[in-house]
Amino acid sequence: MRFCPYAQRTRLVLQAKGIRHEEVNINLKNKPEWFFKKNPIGKVPLIENSQGQLICESVIICEYLDEAYPGKKLLPNDPYERACQKMILESFSKVLTNKKTTFFGGNSVSMIDYFIWPWFERLESLELNDCVTQTPKLKLWVAAMRKDPAVEALYTDAKSQQHFYTLYFQNSSPEACDYGL
Protein backbone atom coordinates (compact mmCIF):
# COMPACT_ATOMS: atom_id res chain seq x y z
CA MET A 1 0.00 0.00 0.00
CA ARG A 2 1.87 3.03 -1.23
CA PHE A 3 0.09 5.53 1.04
CA CYS A 4 0.91 3.62 4.23
CA PRO A 5 4.05 4.97 5.98
CA TYR A 6 4.95 1.50 7.28
CA ALA A 7 4.77 0.02 3.80
CA GLN A 8 6.75 2.99 2.48
CA ARG A 9 9.62 2.08 4.82
CA THR A 10 9.85 -1.29 3.09
CA ARG A 11 9.50 0.24 -0.37
CA LEU A 12 12.34 2.68 0.40
CA VAL A 13 14.67 -0.15 1.43
CA LEU A 14 13.73 -2.24 -1.64
CA GLN A 15 14.44 0.78 -3.86
CA ALA A 16 17.68 1.78 -2.11
CA LYS A 17 19.07 -1.75 -2.36
CA GLY A 18 17.84 -2.23 -5.94
CA ILE A 19 15.82 -5.34 -5.07
CA ARG A 20 13.47 -6.45 -7.85
CA HIS A 21 10.00 -7.13 -6.47
CA GLU A 22 6.32 -7.22 -7.26
CA GLU A 23 4.10 -4.82 -5.37
CA VAL A 24 0.45 -5.51 -4.58
CA ASN A 25 -1.67 -2.66 -3.24
CA ILE A 26 -4.68 -3.55 -1.13
CA ASN A 27 -7.52 -1.55 0.33
CA LEU A 28 -6.59 -1.10 4.00
CA LYS A 29 -10.22 -0.77 5.07
CA ASN A 30 -11.42 -3.77 3.08
CA LYS A 31 -8.56 -6.26 2.95
CA PRO A 32 -9.10 -9.31 0.74
CA GLU A 33 -9.51 -12.77 2.28
CA TRP A 34 -6.35 -14.07 0.59
CA PHE A 35 -4.35 -11.47 2.54
CA PHE A 36 -5.62 -12.76 5.90
CA LYS A 37 -4.66 -16.29 4.83
CA LYS A 38 -1.08 -15.06 4.41
CA ASN A 39 -1.15 -12.80 7.47
CA PRO A 40 -3.92 -13.51 10.01
CA ILE A 41 -3.18 -10.23 11.81
CA GLY A 42 -3.84 -8.37 8.55
CA LYS A 43 -1.08 -5.78 8.95
CA VAL A 44 0.85 -4.25 6.07
CA PRO A 45 3.49 -4.48 4.86
CA LEU A 46 3.97 -8.16 4.24
CA ILE A 47 6.60 -9.71 2.01
CA GLU A 48 6.86 -13.18 0.60
CA ASN A 49 10.33 -14.28 -0.48
CA SER A 50 11.17 -16.67 -3.32
CA GLN A 51 10.92 -19.64 -0.93
CA GLY A 52 7.35 -18.67 -0.02
CA GLN A 53 8.37 -17.48 3.46
CA LEU A 54 6.27 -14.62 4.81
CA ILE A 55 7.62 -11.73 6.88
CA CYS A 56 5.57 -8.91 8.40
CA GLU A 57 6.24 -5.74 10.44
CA SER A 58 8.11 -3.03 8.56
CA VAL A 59 11.20 -2.81 10.78
CA ILE A 60 11.64 -6.60 10.74
CA ILE A 61 11.16 -6.73 6.96
CA CYS A 62 13.71 -3.95 6.38
CA GLU A 63 16.31 -5.61 8.59
CA TYR A 64 15.71 -8.92 6.80
CA LEU A 65 16.14 -7.26 3.38
CA ASP A 66 19.36 -5.57 4.48
CA GLU A 67 20.80 -8.88 5.71
CA ALA A 68 19.46 -11.15 2.96
CA TYR A 69 20.38 -9.05 -0.07
CA PRO A 70 23.92 -7.98 -0.96
CA GLY A 71 24.93 -4.52 -2.02
CA LYS A 72 24.51 -1.28 -0.17
CA LYS A 73 24.24 -1.94 3.56
CA LEU A 74 21.77 0.31 5.33
CA LEU A 75 22.40 -0.90 8.87
CA PRO A 76 25.85 -0.53 10.42
CA ASN A 77 27.93 -3.72 10.80
CA ASP A 78 28.83 -2.81 14.36
CA PRO A 79 26.22 -4.17 16.83
CA TYR A 80 26.52 -1.10 19.04
CA GLU A 81 25.94 1.28 16.12
CA ARG A 82 22.89 -0.81 15.07
CA ALA A 83 21.55 -0.55 18.62
CA CYS A 84 22.12 3.22 18.54
CA GLN A 85 20.04 3.50 15.36
CA LYS A 86 17.24 1.51 16.97
CA MET A 87 17.34 3.80 20.00
CA ILE A 88 17.10 6.81 17.69
CA LEU A 89 14.05 5.29 16.05
CA GLU A 90 12.41 4.94 19.45
CA SER A 91 12.92 8.60 20.32
CA PHE A 92 14.26 10.51 17.31
CA SER A 93 12.81 13.84 18.35
CA LYS A 94 14.88 13.85 21.54
CA VAL A 95 18.06 13.12 19.59
CA LEU A 96 17.59 15.86 17.02
CA THR A 97 19.24 18.59 19.05
CA ASN A 98 22.38 16.45 19.60
CA LYS A 99 22.72 15.42 15.95
CA LYS A 100 26.06 16.43 14.42
CA THR A 101 25.62 14.85 10.97
CA THR A 102 23.20 15.48 8.13
CA PHE A 103 21.49 12.10 8.51
CA PHE A 104 20.31 10.35 11.64
CA GLY A 105 22.63 7.38 11.08
CA GLY A 106 25.75 9.36 10.13
CA ASN A 107 27.07 11.07 7.01
CA SER A 108 24.97 9.08 4.53
CA VAL A 109 21.40 7.83 4.35
CA SER A 110 20.86 4.67 6.38
CA MET A 111 18.03 2.49 7.60
CA ILE A 112 17.05 4.88 10.39
CA ASP A 113 16.48 7.68 7.88
CA TYR A 114 14.23 5.45 5.78
CA PHE A 115 12.29 4.39 8.90
CA ILE A 116 11.55 8.02 9.82
CA TRP A 117 11.09 9.59 6.36
CA PRO A 118 7.54 8.40 5.54
CA TRP A 119 6.03 10.60 8.26
CA PHE A 120 7.96 13.65 7.11
CA GLU A 121 6.90 13.14 3.51
CA ARG A 122 3.30 13.47 4.70
CA LEU A 123 3.74 16.76 6.61
CA GLU A 124 3.00 18.96 3.59
CA SER A 125 -0.20 17.09 2.71
CA LEU A 126 -1.36 17.49 6.32
CA GLU A 127 -0.37 21.18 6.23
CA LEU A 128 2.18 20.71 9.01
CA ASN A 129 5.30 21.96 7.19
CA ASP A 130 5.85 24.62 9.85
CA CYS A 131 7.11 21.84 12.14
CA VAL A 132 10.15 21.55 9.87
CA THR A 133 10.73 25.22 9.06
CA GLN A 134 11.16 26.03 12.75
CA THR A 135 13.94 23.45 13.18
CA PRO A 136 17.07 24.20 11.08
CA LYS A 137 18.69 20.75 11.48
CA LEU A 138 15.47 18.99 10.60
CA LYS A 139 14.99 21.29 7.61
CA LEU A 140 18.47 20.34 6.32
CA TRP A 141 17.71 16.64 6.85
CA VAL A 142 14.44 16.89 4.89
CA ALA A 143 16.22 18.67 2.02
CA ALA A 144 18.97 16.01 1.98
CA MET A 145 16.43 13.18 2.08
CA ARG A 146 14.54 14.61 -0.88
CA LYS A 147 17.77 14.26 -2.91
CA ASP A 148 18.18 10.57 -2.02
CA PRO A 149 17.56 8.37 -5.12
CA ALA A 150 15.19 5.98 -3.29
CA VAL A 151 13.16 8.85 -1.84
CA GLU A 152 13.05 10.62 -5.22
CA ALA A 153 11.87 7.44 -6.95
CA LEU A 154 9.04 6.80 -4.47
CA TYR A 155 8.06 10.36 -3.57
CA THR A 156 4.32 11.01 -3.52
CA ASP A 157 3.42 14.68 -3.82
CA ALA A 158 1.14 16.39 -1.30
CA LYS A 159 -1.72 16.81 -3.76
CA SER A 160 -1.82 13.07 -4.51
CA GLN A 161 -1.69 12.24 -0.82
CA GLN A 162 -4.53 14.67 -0.07
CA HIS A 163 -6.64 13.19 -2.84
CA PHE A 164 -5.97 9.69 -1.47
CA TYR A 165 -7.01 10.75 2.04
CA THR A 166 -10.23 12.26 0.65
CA LEU A 167 -11.14 9.05 -1.19
CA TYR A 168 -10.05 6.81 1.66
CA PHE A 169 -11.99 8.57 4.39
CA GLN A 170 -15.08 9.15 2.28
CA ASN A 171 -15.94 5.62 1.29
CA SER A 172 -12.95 3.24 1.20
CA SER A 173 -13.51 2.80 -2.49
CA PRO A 174 -11.10 0.56 -4.38
CA GLU A 175 -9.81 3.55 -6.36
CA ALA A 176 -8.36 5.02 -3.14
CA CYS A 177 -5.63 2.40 -2.79
CA ASP A 178 -4.80 2.58 -6.50
CA TYR A 179 -5.02 6.36 -6.78
CA GLY A 180 -2.42 7.77 -9.16
CA LEU A 181 -1.22 4.41 -10.52
Q: Is residue 62 annotated as part of the catalytic site, yes or no?
A: no
Angle at 118 between CA 161 and CA 148, to 5 degrees: 105
Among residues 144, 158, 171, the alpha carbon closest in space to that of 3 is found at 158
Distance CA 74, CA 63 (A): 9
End-to-end CA distance of the chain: 11
Residue 17 near residue 74, CB atoms below 8 Å: yes
Catalytic residues: 4
